[in-house]
A and B are shown apart, each in its own frame.
Chain A
Amino acid sequence: MTALLAKRRHPLAPLLVMGLALAALAALYALLSPSSQASTTTAQSTQIEEGKELFLVGCSSCHGLNAEGVVREDGTVLGPSLIGVGAAAVDFQVATGRMPMARNNVQAPRKSVAYTEEQTAALASYVASLAPGPAIPEPDQYDPTQGDVARGGALYRTNCAQCHNTTGQGGALTLGKYAPKLTGVEPVHVYQAMLTGPQSMPVFSDAVLTSEDKRDIIAYLDNVENQPNPGGLGIGRIGPVSEGLWVWLIGLGALIAVAAWLGARAATVKRDKQGGEVAA
């Protein structure tokens, strides 16, 4: 104790105290923060029932107690009806973190996932039980290695590039909405997005854009995302806007720097105040 007291004026003491305080805070936060939603169930609940309980806690405030949707007094939709959207839609929205939405906005952005895989599966099976809808695809259906990259590219450029950009960098839609970047998205979620048409994205049903077509598109996206940039730095893969910025900042910048150096005088002999030479 005396040893500790003796060290209380050590220069590192404040740091140590700060560190301890932060660690304590972190521990408290981890203990008390609302982690994954209620770990409720008894061992005998079915997946659907578990899903329903999760739904009631985390989703019903916007989507209604029976997933029928909630319409505000002024006629705008708070949360749409989920009856018939299918397990695929739920898996997409929840497993990419879009749902639950942090706040009501024009669009639900991809963010950190709030539910575990089992909980997501439970939610999906609950919603699927309400009415028939698109199912979660089989792994074969979205396996990039089984798709035709070139054909997928042709399909992608016709159906997807206008919103998501040819390399999947995303793009702006009206009034603050946007088509998100497709890099870092799991193939299953790409499939589900095409199938269910989340938010502003239109639906691409399997009847028109078949399962094989979708797989080809996934193969193409996978190939492009993992492709090196043979020309050097990719600078965003978005084309002339970033290229123009780089030529002005890096190209002209470097050349003007050299020009300034060119025009500057070489080191002159230093002279002290009286005009005598100082040793170089």
Chain B
Amino acid sequence: MTTHGSELEPTTQRGDPLPDPGLPPHEPRLTDVDVKQAKRAERQVSAMFGVAALGSIGFVVAYLALPLTGELDRLQVSNIALGVTLGLALFLIGIGAIQWAKKLMPDVEMVQERHSLASTPDEQAGAIAAIEAGAEESGIGRRKMIRNSLLGAMALLPLPIVFILGDMGPLSPNPARVRASTIWEPGMRVVNDVTFEPIRPEDLEVGQLVNAMPEAYKEIPEEEHSQALRVRAFASVILVRMELDEFVVEPGREGWDVDGILCYSKICTHVGCPISLYEQQTHNMLCPCHQSTFALADGGKVVFGPARRPLPQLALEVDAEGYLAAQGDFSEPVGPSYWEREQFIDGESV
């Protein structure tokens, strides 16, 4: 069985198995036969339009009579008043118009023939003739040099369009390298986020969680707002304290903790949400975005979810005044993985 032709074909062969009985006879509506019903419908529709008009006026009244005072209760009343008046005005115009059509406009079904969508053979011939004449007159077929050089010129035109977008973002230094380091430096104190107070080890109890930032964040000037945001986006860390026998020290990370206080990056290695859902009893940290779970007592390894790489750990020390500080930057890029990240990993601590 081959595919059917392109002409309009009836879905059913006439009389297969039943012939088309044609349109059912028109049943008159109540409003068609009963003048009182028709008048009633007319009043109904007009009433709807009338209330709609009142709605528009009501909106103006509500707008003028309900200035916003800063109180949320007033805002709620204003929102409802403006919304109900405008909403009803619109809604009732709509319902009225539809009711008008349903009840009063003629509902006798009309039939219109479809036209063939393909052009007639004459039209097709005319089109072909027009194309051929134009092509012949342009000479593009004969003058191959013009055709080829035009194609070449057009083909290269996208290049300027692409390249002019090149300064949308700085591509040098290499983004992969920029992404691989954060503001953390040797000796930089770890401070509590929001309050920016430095932290002593004895301030933390076992089971405690601190959301922390590098001290340098406070010193970023206002004009470098972008830099400040970047610090929040990559250098945010969390501190947790566990009993010494509750966690495992990864090879190469000896001395990274201070009395059971561990510091991990706050940025999920899946797609970068900040984490810090710390379950004190299981020592697991959960990301609320896609439920990646990291075992902070086991080097931040992934125990569930779509993340793959462990949470990067920041080595801690105690500075001369007894406050917690970083030993240096992270030993690997923080946050989601990217193509070149392997080139920016230090030593065996990872």
B243 at the binding interface (Cβ < 8 Å)? no
Q: Tell me, yes or no, whether A66 is within 8 Å of chain B by CB.
A: no
Given A162-B276, A202-B280, A208-B199, A267-B30 contact (CB < 8 Å): yes
Q: Give the interface centre of A202, A269, A280 by most chain B CB atoms within 10 Å.
A: A202
**Chain A minimum-CB-distance residue to B241:** A203
Q: Is B31 an interface residue, CB under 8 A from the partner?
A: yes
Docked-complex contact B274 and A162, CB < 8 angstroms:
yes
Q: A174-B286, A269-B27, A280-B37 are in contact. Are A213 and B195 (CB under 8 A)?
A: yes
When the two chains form their complex, are residues A262 and B98 in contact, meaning their CB atoms are under 8 A apart? yes
CA distance A199 to B282 in the complex (A): 10
A binding-site residues for B, Cβ under 8 Å: 151, 154-155, 158-159, 162-163, 171, 173-174, 177, 179, 197, 199-205, 207-210, 213, 227-232, 258, 261-262, 264-269, 277, 280
Which stretch (B75-83, B156-164, B315-323) binds chain A? B75-83
B169-206 interface (Cβ within 8 A of A) = 192-195, 197, 199-200, 202-206
Do A174 and B37 touch across chains, with their CB atoms under 8 A apart? Answer: no
Q: Please state if A174 and B282 are interface contacts (CB–CB under 8 Å).
A: yes
Chain B: interface size category: 35 or more
**B41's closest neighbor in chain A, by CB?**
A266
Is A202 within 8 A of B28, CB to CB?
A: no
A18 to B204, CA, bound (A): 62
Q: How many A-B residue pairs have CB under 8 A?
A: 122
B224 contacts across to A, CB distance below 8 A: none
The yes or no answer to B346 lying at the interface (CB within 8 A) is: no
| A180–B207 alpha-carbon span in the complex (Å) | 19
Which one of B113-121, B208-216, B248-256, B335-343 contacts A? B208-216
A18: shortest Cβ distance to chain B, in Å?
46
Q: How far is the CB of B241 from chain A (nearest CB, A)?
A: 8
Contact A174 B102 (CB under 8 A): no
**When the two chains form their complex, are residues B30 and A199 in contact, meaning their CB atoms are under 8 A apart?**
no
Docked-complex contact A200 and B279, CB < 8 angstroms: yes
Q: Does B229 have its Cβ within 8 Å of any Cβ on chain A?
A: no
Cα separation A162 to B287 with both chains bound (whole Å): 8
In the complex, chain B residues whose CB is within 8 Å of the CB of A213: 195
Is B281 interfacial (CB 8 A cutoff)? yes
Measured CB to CB, the closest approach of chain A to B130, in angstroms, equals: 45
Chain A residue nearest to B207 in the complex (CB):
A203
Given contacts A162-B274, A173-B277, A202-B280, contact A230 B79 (CB under 8 A): yes
Indicate whether B262 reaches chain A with its CB closer than 8 angstroms. no
In the assembly, what is the distance between CA of A158 and CA of B192, in Å?
10
Q: Would you give the shortest CB distance from A262 to chain B, in whole angstroms?
A: 5
- Name the interface residues of B271-306: CB closer than 8 Å to any CB of A: 274-282, 284, 286, 288, 291, 293, 304
Q: List 15 A-B contacts (CB under 8 A).
A: A159-B211, A162-B274, A163-B288, A174-B286, A174-B291, A199-B280, A202-B207, A204-B208, A205-B203, A205-B204, A231-B79, A232-B83, A258-B98, A261-B98, A267-B30
List of B residues within 8 angstroms of A171 by Cβ: 277, 288
Shortest Cβ distance from B103 into A: residue? A266
Q: A162-B275, A202-B240, A203-B208 are in contact. Are A266 and B107 (CB under 8 A)?
A: yes
Say which residue of A179, A197, A262, A264 sits within 8 Å of B208 (CB atoms).
Answer: A197
**Contacting pair B98 A199 (CB below 8 A):** no
In the bound complex, do residue A269 and residue B102 qualify as a contact, i.e. CB atoms below 8 Å apart? no
Shortest Cβ distance from residue B196 to the other chain A in the assembled complex, whole angstroms: 12
Q: Which residue of A lies closest to B80 (CB)?
A: A232
